[in-house]
Amino acid sequence: MNWKNRICSSVDAVFRHKSLSLQLILLYMRKIVILLLSIFVLLACKRTSQVAKVEEKAITVPAFSSDSAYLYVKKQVDFGARVPNTKAHEECAVYLASELKRFGAKVIEQKADLIAFDGTVLKSVNIIGSFNPKAEGRILLFAHWDSRPWADNDPDPKNHKKPVMAANDGASGVGMLLEMARWMGQNSPTVGVDIIFFDSEDYGKPASAGGDPAEDSWCLGTQYWAKNPHVPGYTARYGILLDMVGAPGATFYREQASEYYAPRVVSAVWSQAKSLGFGQYFKDEKGGAITDDHIYVNKISGIPSIDIIQYDPNTESGFGAYWHTIYDTMENVDKNTLNAVGTTLMHVVYNEK
C-alpha cells in the first residue's frame, strides 16, 4: 500500500468511525425525542383527566324555596296545637310521615309511651325519614314537631294554661326540613341523610311548678331515640338541630353546648352562612347554653351535634318574645329567615362528599 492509499484508508476509517458515532447520536436523539413526546402526551392526558375530575365534582345545590317551607310550616299550624294525646297531634303525625314518603324517603314511625314529669303518659311518635339509606356516610338533621301544652311564658297569666301554637317553636324547623326533603327526593346529595322529627320535646316541667328544674323532663322523644336508635348502632358524621328558625330578624349565635361537642360543625355552618351573605342572621359570637334535643344526641348517641336556635340577648328568656306564649303564630314566621337558614343548610349538606 502506497502512502496515498494509506492516507485514504485511514481517512475512510475516520469517516466510517465518524458516521457510526453520528448514527449512534441520531439514534439516542430519536430515543430522547420519543421519550419527551411520551412524557408530554402522558402529562397532557393526566391534565385532561384532572379537569374531567374537577368537572365531575362540580356540585349544584338545589334552590331552597322559602315559599314552600312557609307553606309546610302553615300546614302544621293549621292542625292546631300539636300537643301529645290530642287529635291535632295524631293528624299532624300522619301528615308528616306521608310527606316524607311522598318525597321518596324510607320512613319509620317510632312509637313510644313516654312518661312526663307529672306522670302523664304521652303517646309519642318520632318520625324518621332516610334518604340513601344504604350510604355509609350520613348526616342527621332534626327538629321537634310537638307543641308546648302551656303558654307559661305569656305576659298574661290568664294564658298560662293555654297551648302554644308553636309556629316557630317546632313547626319552623320541621317545615324547613320538609322543604329540604322535597329536594333530596328529586336530587340526591352524595351522602345519606336522616331527617328526624322528634316528639315530646316541649312537655318539660314549668318553672312555676317550683323545686327541681327537672332538665330531663324536656326532649323526651330524643332521649328515647338516643337509647333506642331506629337502626341498631346508628351513627352519623354530625347532627344539626333546627329550633325556632323562622322568626323575623332572628339571630343565631354559637350555642355553647354545640361549641363544646361539635366546634368544627358550628364553624362550618357559620362560615357557610357568611359566605352566602347571611352573616346578619348567623352571628359569629358566643350564645347561651341550651338544654335541647342536641344534648342527648351528643351525650347518648355520641354524634357531634349542634343547635341552630334563635338567641335574643335582649329578652329575659334569651329567646324571641313570642317564646312559650300564645303569640307563637304564623305572624312570627318570616320567609327571609327561613331562606337564610334553609339555603345555608342546603349548601352544607350538598357540599358533603
Cell digits of residue 311: 338567641
CA distance 69 to 47: 43
Buried b (16+ CB within 10 A) or exposed e, 273-310: beeeebeebbbeeebeebbbbbbbbbeebebbbbbbbb
> What is the gyration radius of the CA atoms in the chain, in angstroms?
32
Which span (43-51, 64-72, 287-295, 336-344) binds ligand 1BN, by CB under 6 A? 287-295
Chosen residue from 179, 292, 312, 352 binding ligand 1BN by CB under 6 A: 292
Q: Kind of pairing, strands 192-198 and 238-243?
A: unpaired
Those residues with Cβ within 8 angstroms of residue 278's Cβ, 6 or more apart along the chain or in another chain: 340, 341, 343, 344
Q: Given the rule CB under 5 A, which residues bind Zn ion?
A: 148, 169, 202
For the CB of residue 303, give the shortest distance to Zn ion in the complex, in Å. Answer: 22
Nearer to ligand 1BN, 130 or 159 (CB): 159
Site for ligand 1BN in 151-170 (CB under 6 A): 169
Nearer to ligand 1BN, 325 or 343 (CB): 325
Chosen residue from 202, 312, 334, 352 binding ligand 1BN by CB under 6 A: 202
Cα–Cα distance list, 17 to 13, 20, 22, 23, 31 (Å): 6, 5, 9, 10, 21
Chosen residue from 265, 266, 290, 326 binding ligand 1BN by CB under 6 A: 290
Nearer to Zn ion, 132 or 168 (CB): 168
For the CB of residue 226, give the shortest distance to Zn ion in the complex, in Å. Answer: 19
Between 229 and 268, how does the x/- string for binding to ligand 1BN read (CB under 6 A)? --------------x-------------------------
Q: Should residue 328 be labelled a site residue for ligand 1BN when binding is judged by CB under 6 A?
A: no
The 3-state DSSP composition of the chain as helix, strand, coil percent (nearest 5) reads 50, 15, 35
The answer to whether the CB of 72 falls within 8 A of the CB of 178 is yes
Q: Should residue 352 be labelled a site residue for ligand 1BN when binding is judged by CB under 6 A?
A: no
CA distance 266 to 286: 11
Number of chain residues interacting with ligand 1BN (CB under 6 A): 8
For the CB of residue 153, give the shortest distance to Zn ion in the complex, in Å. Answer: 9
Nearer to ligand 1BN, 81 or 105 (CB): 81
218 binds, among Zn ion, ligand 1BN, none (CB under 5 to 8 A by kind): ligand 1BN
For the CB of residue 167, give the shortest distance to ligand 1BN in the complex, in Å. Answer: 13
CA distance 118 to 270: 39
For ligand 1BN, the binding residues (CB under 6 A) are 169, 202, 204, 218, 243, 290-292
